[in-house]
């Protein structure tokens, strides 16, 4: 573990270094002033710190910048404030020592330095630093785990695309934005034709493989980063298209149908084709304040129902259901 010794007296630095090395500590860095210590710590410079220090031994009384000012400056830095700092002080510096402890110093060692006392306090400080590092590492791992769980809670476990929960949140977000900015918002509902027959014919494992492949086809058919598709439930998918009017939505819906036709996924028990096909409902709005996302979903779902009623393997717009 790395220890930084800060003292303006050469002999004092050498004494501390010798005691520490004899006590089993080999990674010791010396600084003759607070400014030099700041440079080693990466404070006030664009250069990276020499290394990550685990403990600082610092003289209380130094020229230019004294130990209290240096201590305060170090503790103000988020990346450095957890480094334990032990002040080295003369017996008659009681008031300054109290200020240092109030400013965040962990402990102090009095001059002339006692070898056993110094090593005991250094080991105690390093043990504290190890515990702080362990806690921070656990917090990082927990944060990463929570972020992973949060991400997974928005992802469909089978297809790897956003799930219904994420769809609902994003639709609500885009709906409010479109309403506020008076912009177009489009939506496409997609239903796989005769998918129950597909499962009955090929088995559920092959059905799952088909769903995963279709999810990628639908996602690849979208043209802009802001567009997204989610698994809405079962064999239904839904796409949200911000800043897209009805003509743009129709183009994307047709692109989905084209990509699916090119994929040529066999479906021997479909009543409309020997390949997997989909029915689509398409709608576009500039939402007003009285409308709700659920109103948009209902309108597009009606268009999807009309596409299925009219024979499947086709697209219908919301204005065709009026």
Compute the distance between CA of residue 254 and CA of residue 317 in angstroms, rounded to an integer: 12
Question: What CATH code would you report for 164-320?
Answer: 3.30.70.270
pLDDT tens for each residue of 161-212: 999 999 999 999 999 999 999 999 999 999 999 999 999 999 999 999 999 9
Burial 89-111 (b: 16+ CB within 10 A, else e): beeebeebbebbeebebbbbbee
Compute the distance between CA of residue 160 and CA of residue 71 in angstroms, rounded to an integer: 51
Contact 104, 71 (CB under 8 A): yes
Catalytic residue positions, numbered: 235
Q: Could you tell me whether strands 3-6 and 55-59 are parallel, antiparallel, or unpaired per DSSP bridges?
A: parallel
Compute the distance between CA of residue 172 and CA of residue 166 in angstroms, rounded to an integer: 10
Compute the distance between CA of residue 141 and CA of residue 143 in angstroms, rounded to an integer: 5
The domain at 3-149 falls in which architecture?
Answer: 3-Layer(aba) Sandwich (3.40)
Among 38-52, 66-80, 222-236, 265-279, the least confident range:
38-52
Q: Could you tell me whether strands 28-31 and 85-89 are parallel, antiparallel, or unpaired per DSSP bridges?
A: unpaired
The three-class DSSP label of residue 89 is strand
| Model-wide pTM > 0.75 | no
Note the Cα 53 to chain centre separation in Å.
28
The domain limits of the chain are 3-149, 164-320
Among 144-148, 250-254, 299-303, the least confident range:
144-148
pLDDT tens for each residue of 48-97: 666 689 999 999 989 889 989 999 999 999 889 999 999 998 766 777 77
Name the helix (H) or strand (E) containing 6: strand 3-6
Instruction: Give the mean pLDDT of the chain.
Output: 91
Compute the distance between CA of residue 43 and CA of residue 57 in angstroms, rounded to an integer: 17
* Cα atoms in the 13 Å half-sphere on the side-chain side of 288: 1
- How far from 43 is each of 7, 56, 84, CA to CA, in Å? 18, 15, 17
């Amino acid at each position: 573990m790395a220890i930084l010794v800060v003292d303006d007296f050469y002999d004092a630095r050498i004494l501390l270094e010798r005691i520490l090395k004899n006590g089993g500590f080999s990674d010791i860095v010396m600084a003759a002033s607070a400014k030099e210590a700041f440079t080693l710590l990466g404070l006030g410079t664009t250069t990276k710190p020499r290394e990550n220090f685990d403990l600082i031994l610092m003289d209380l009384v130094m020229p230019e910048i004294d130990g209290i000012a240096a201590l305060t400056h170090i503790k103000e830095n988020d990346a450095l404030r957890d480094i334990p700092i032990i002040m080295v002080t003369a017996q008659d510096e009681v008031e300054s020592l109290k200020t240092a402890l109030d400013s965040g110093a962990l402990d102090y060692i009095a001059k002339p330095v006692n070898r056993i006392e110094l090593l005991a306090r250094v080991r105690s400080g390093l043990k504290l630093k190890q515990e702080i590092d362990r806690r921070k590492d656990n917090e990082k791992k927990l944060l990463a785990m929570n972020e992973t769980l949060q991400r997974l809670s928005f992802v469909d476990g089978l297809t790897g695309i956003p799930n219904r929960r994420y769809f609902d949140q994003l639709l609500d977000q885009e709906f409010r934005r479109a309403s506020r900015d008076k912009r177009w918002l489009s939506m496409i509902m997609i239903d796989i034709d005769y998918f129950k027959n597909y499962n009955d014919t090929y088995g559920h494992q092959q059905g799952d493989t088909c769903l995963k492949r279709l999810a990628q086809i639908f996602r690849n058919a979208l043209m802009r980063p802001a567009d997204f598709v989610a698994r809405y439930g079962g064999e239904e998918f839904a796409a949200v298209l911000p800043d897209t009017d009805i003509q743009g939505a129709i183009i994307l819906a047709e692109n989905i149908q084209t990509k699916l036709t090119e994929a040529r996924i066999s479906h021997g028990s479909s009543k409309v084709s020997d390949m997997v096909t989909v029915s689509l409902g398409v709608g576009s709005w500039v939402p007003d304040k009285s409308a709700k996302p659920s109103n948009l979903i209902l309108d597009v779902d009606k268009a999807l129902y009309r596409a299925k009623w009219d024979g499947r393997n086709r697209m219908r717009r919301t204005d065709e259901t009026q």
